[in-house]
Amino acid sequence: MTLFQTLTFSTALFGTLFSAAVAADLPPTPNGLGRADSASFSPSVPAYADNGATNQRGKACMATVDTNAGVRLLSGFVAVWTPSSPFVDADVEAPADGGCPAIAKAAWDGIPGSATDGKVLNLSIHTHNIAYVVEATRTRTAERAIQAYLDDRRGKNASLVDGLGPFADIWRDGAKQVTTITQVASDAATVKYDDEGNNRGFGSKADAEKGTPANPDLGLAVDLLEAVGADASTEPAKRYYKYARPWRWSDDVEVLPTLEPAKSNTPGTDGGFPSGHTAEAWRDGLTMAYLVPERFQEMVTRAVELGDSRIIAGMHSPLDVIGGRMLGTAAVVYNLGRAENAELKQAARGQALAWIKAKTGAETSLDLVRMGHASSADEDRFADWRANTAYVAPRLTYGFEPTGSTANAVIVPKGAEVILETRLPYLTAEQRRIVLKTTSLPSGYPVMDDAEGYGRLDFFRAADGFGAFNGDVTVTMDGSQGGFHELDTWRNDISGAGRLTKAGTGTLALAGENSFSGGTIVEDGALLAASHSALGTGDVYIAAGVLAVAPEGLKLAGGFSVTEKATLSVTLSDAAETGLDVSGPVALDGGRLELVLDPSSRPSKGKAIAVIRAAEIDGTFADVTLDGHPVEASYDGKTISVVLPE
């Protein structure tokens, strides 16, 4: 008998062997909830997506929390701090305009505790805010000090591009991006203060006045980055809230010695809340994640790091950074959603995809996805997904204790789903909103509980798909479109009572510890169970297409059904739990069982492996193969087994 010849074994050892399929009566498909989830936006405030143009200073009709979208977005700060005057007026005046009276310059001198200063309303939050900076500056490592200096002095985009990992130099080349800060100053005397480079690079059109050429390579991508900066300034909010920098609040904050020249000597013009560097980091970071979604989470991580650098440097507090993140994100939503940018964002994404494919030699969009995650940690400091996860999560809330309920309903900002268009392209706009809803942070944190929901957005988790099925979800992936349409992985732990239906020709992998209970249906393409609990606790029904099971095995709490049109593909290893453990009944109406041996942990030759273990098995597979060759399987009513060839 050759290695892959058909195998036959004693019925005394393995039970009855079937040479022809025996059909079972299949149960109905899982019911789920019978409805889809939804994600509403707040009707109580004007949406930033519609009113971002009001984020101005020096405008009498855009000088208050009610009339300025940027100020309004961050209005949760007034529970912590009362500014000395309720206007955008720090070192700025606005002439009367129509029915809006003139706004005079505030008397604020920028010195904490002075007669012109505002008032701390929540001392515990304020104390934590400054104490965090004291500790961060006292304990910073030499490596983080270098990063903080570079993130302060270099053009922000020139720093952020690190997040592209293996594509970073390709991007710099295509954008014609230059920075003159390439070395780290050893002390304040040798610090290079001004970056004389071009930050984002050159756009698509020549500028005779600036003497810059047209850029045919990534010029449209640079154009989009520039467009997302429209109406995005943090200055209006800074000049409304009038909250000092942390080093002015405490002498224990140790500003980086190399950044001493960067400290402003005009405190009345130098508010700390929100952080401008952080806002720009999120504007450019999320836009680059949109343009290169193959590095979406890595770009989010880099934006978080740049914001954190502001604290490490002693230049900003956690609340400053949180505010900058919120305002920067809102600017991206506003500008990517504007009708005048619709063609540009599509063309810029196409240009970025074509440029990087050409420079890497990638033949397909899926090749590019794989290349984007093929680097080692030595080559790419953002290569480790788990390390990125551990880094990002605590820096979204910075150790603040909730000041209100953590269980309030999630509101998703109007238009926020636009940021996920290229990362989750196979989902509908409403589904992308639900992804944002089900991956949002808890309510109750200071500043972050804004009425629109910007403070609770977690784009790192959102890039890993749904966080809950609170309604039934159908995912339709057209594999012919390539990239994420062809193959994607969701790593979140998915809860909820809804049902998942996998449709379309693409492949979706579920890698989280999932507990959703509405069941799973595979109608087409492939669904890869990449963890023990990938398919939750409900019934699983393979109507057509493929259910693939990873070498570590799959546990099903409900029943399992396979139709004649379906395939179960199981990779077998020497792990004790390889294959399927099914608590409920198994019903087989023919179908195909494809077995593959895991090359990294092959079971012993001649070993009998129980591929499916269940409370009850009715019916058989019509066809069983091992590494592409026909084999016999044995069925004893509770187990389906094969013996590996000698």
Domain locations in the chain? Answer: 48-431
Task: Give the pLDDT score at 575.
Answer: 85
Fold held by 48-431: Vanadium-containing Chloroperoxidase; domain 1 (1.20.144)
Handedness of CA 338, 340, 343, 345 (dihedral sign): negative
C-alpha distances in Å from residue 483, one per residue of 266, 285, 372, 487, 506: 51, 21, 12, 7, 10
Q: The whole model's pTM is what?
A: 0.94
Name the DSSP class of 602. Answer: P
CA-nearest of 528, 522, 520 to 548 is: 528
d(CA 45, CA 156): 31
Task: Give the pLDDT score at 526.
Answer: 98
Judge contact between 574 and 551, C-beta under 8 A: no
C-alpha distances in Å from residue 615, one per residue of 29, 215, 423, 582, 592: 19, 65, 40, 7, 21
SS3 332: helix
Task: Give the pLDDT score at 4.
Answer: 24
Task: Give the pLDDT score at 185.
Answer: 63
- The 3-state DSSP composition of the chain as helix, strand, coil percent (nearest 5) reads 35, 15, 50
State the Cα angle at 529 between 527 and 530, rounded to 5°. Answer: 125
Task: Give the pLDDT score at 210.
Answer: 84
Name the DSSP class of 481. Answer: G
Residues 174-193 pLDDT 10s: 999 999 998 776 666 667 77
Residues 202-252 pLDDT 10s: 999 998 888 889 999 999 999 999 999 999 999 999 999 999 999 999 999
The backbone region for 606, taken as left when phi is positive above 0, alpha when psi lies in -120 to 50, beta otherwise, is: left
Judge contact between 611 and 580, C-beta under 8 A: yes
Task: Give buried/exposed letters for 36-51 (b at 16+ CB in 10 A, else e).
Answer: bbebebeeebbbbbeb
SS3 97: strand
CA-nearest of 429, 479, 570, 470 to 49 is: 429
Contacts of 573 (CB under 8 A, 6+ apart): 551, 552, 597, 598, 600, 601, 602, 603
- What residue ranges of the chain have pLDDT lower than 70? 1-20, 185-190
Question: What's the order of all strands across the beta sheet hosting 623-626?
Answer: 487-490, 507-510, 526-529, 545-549, 566-572, 592-597, 623-626, 629-630
